[in-house]
Amino acid sequence: MIKRSQDEALSQINVTPFIDVMLVLLIIFMVVTPLITSSAKIELPKSTQNAKQDDKNLVIISIDKDKVILVNNEAINKENLAQILAQKTKNNFDEIIYFYVDVSVEYGLLMKTINEIKSLGYSKIALSSEVKK
């Protein structure tokens, strides 16, 4: 074994501070990157064509300002919701359920109705809005 004297310099590089700096930079980039990408302002292209939809097969659930639930413009009881949806969709759980909700309806009522429909097995739910002209 070779003995070193007290005056010799250590010839190895201490990489611990370098690793610490790299980990701090990694954490900073991990925190900052989602903030940068979510704040990107993107204007989507406009289309002049309306999407084709088969109007007779649409299932539209409406909640009016009086909190009355309508399925395809027919007032229903919440107890009959499962039966009526099964009739309208012919037990097709991949059918899209469209929601038209009045602006004055509470968010809690909307979410409660959506959760009831999801518990029946329907997972495709679309919230509709009015197109501004």
Three-state DSSP class for residue 115 = helix
The CATH number that domain 55-127 falls under is 3.30.420.270
Percentage of residues of the chain with pLDDT beyond 90:
13
Over residues 60-83, the pLDDT tens digits come to 888 888 888 888 888 888 888 888
What is the pLDDT of the chain when averaged over all its residues? 78
Binned at pLDDT 50, 70 and 90, residue 21 comes out as: very high
CA angle 90, 96, 101 (to 5 degrees): 115
Over residues 83-123, the pLDDT tens digits come to 888 888 888 888 888 888 888 888 888 899 899 989 988 88
Tell which residue, 56, 47, 59, has the closest CA to residue 99.
59
